[in-house]
Structure 1
Amino acid sequence: MSISRIDQLEQNLRAWLLRTPVLSLASSLGAEDMVITDLICRKNLPIRIFTLDTGRLPEPTYRLLDRIFEHYGRRIEVFWPAQEDVEELVKEQGVNGFYHSLAARRACCGARKVKPLARALSGQQGWITGLRRDQSPTRSDLVAEIRDEGHGLMKYSPLLDWSQEEVWAVVKEYRVPYNALHDQQYASIGCAPCTRAIQPGEDERAGRWWWESSHSKECGLHVVSETATQE
């Protein structure tokens, strides 16, 4: 099963490269994005890979960046939030103000994630994500290709119909490096203060912003595409 899935993934990436040659993978460093990273590196595809360092990532995530370089000989490009944005955020809401309200949490994600993503995507023709439909209720309507009007480029989600089991089958088969927190029941990993392990029966993103409603659990990186025109 994993071989056919990988073949289809490679075909999709090559097809998208022909349509949008200036193409990037926006990696969260989660298992899904590591599957895509592994294929890009093994096949030497001309796809840029970047990640966002919010300044509050857990230590195992930083260790994974080192392992990626050791395994593939490739550095992942890192984008950070602007210092002035973080200073203003902390001045307004404190260090952990995101716990106090949805608006405060979204403001934090805006400064630490959304703005850096916009800088990372500047000049690109398309971007790739590791989103899957069954990760949470907010992602059930994903499509593989969509025009991201918010950033003015194409957005691709090649793993949208993969299951969690299929992702991990590929990780094991190809010995893909992954975040050690996954072995501690962290299904979705973001900033350290906003991420916890999940319990049996919970959806994969239940450990993200666990104090909020399940229908608000997006940081804003993917919300901009909701009104996009499907291609």
Structure 2
Amino acid sequence: MQKQITLYGDIHKLSPYVRRVELALLEAGATFKTHRFDFFTKPAWFVGPDGVNPYTGKIPAITYGGPEVPPEEPSPLSAKITESHVILEFIADVFPSSQLLPSDPVSRAHVRFIMTAANNLEGSALEFFHGASEAYQKLLDGLEAIQKLLPDEGEFAVGEHYTIADASITPILRLVIMLAKTNAGKFDPDLGTKLAEELRSEKLAKLRKYGKGMMERENFKKAVDVEHEEFVFKQRFGRSA
């Protein structure tokens, strides 16, 4: 019998880091519950010494094992695991039959390299979102770097199965697409328009095809309400008239 898993995420459902973990759990066929809260308030049950993540106070985090308890009363008998990529590898280990991490060492290394590239892309995307104009070219370079790591044929980033590389990349691609589509953030709106043009360009055709396939998967649709996400994003970060 599977041990209990509780995923802790943001109340607005916008965090790409939480989305990574949610996608991996869904693809693994795991039974889990999700508790979303305003993590900026730093509740003691989350950040306190006996809390879910006393180390950084960040999401995502999961509790694994221990008794079934209310999410705001984490059991000392459960393991507390944080950082999205650490959690992804943990899920792959707990559910080996899901093939979220290949058995072949070379393929496993490629998965991890892609995850590193996804983190680099995410960093550039957030810098751009916060208004750093110099991050625009870094963002484009990051998109091209991801594209170069993808196979010329096939649905997945590595091999013939969905892996944690796909779970790592997809939410970051979704964030970049949302920045371009909503033009919401602190960046120059002209750069947002240029980003949208780049995403439609032939230069990024392979990446665009890959992202489209990932976002058409049933588990992505379970995890992401695209219309709601864009509405909340524009509401929180849209430009004043």
Q: Normalising to structure 2: TM-score of the pair?
A: 0.30
The structure number with the bigger radius of gyration is 2
The answer to which structure has the higher helix fraction is 2
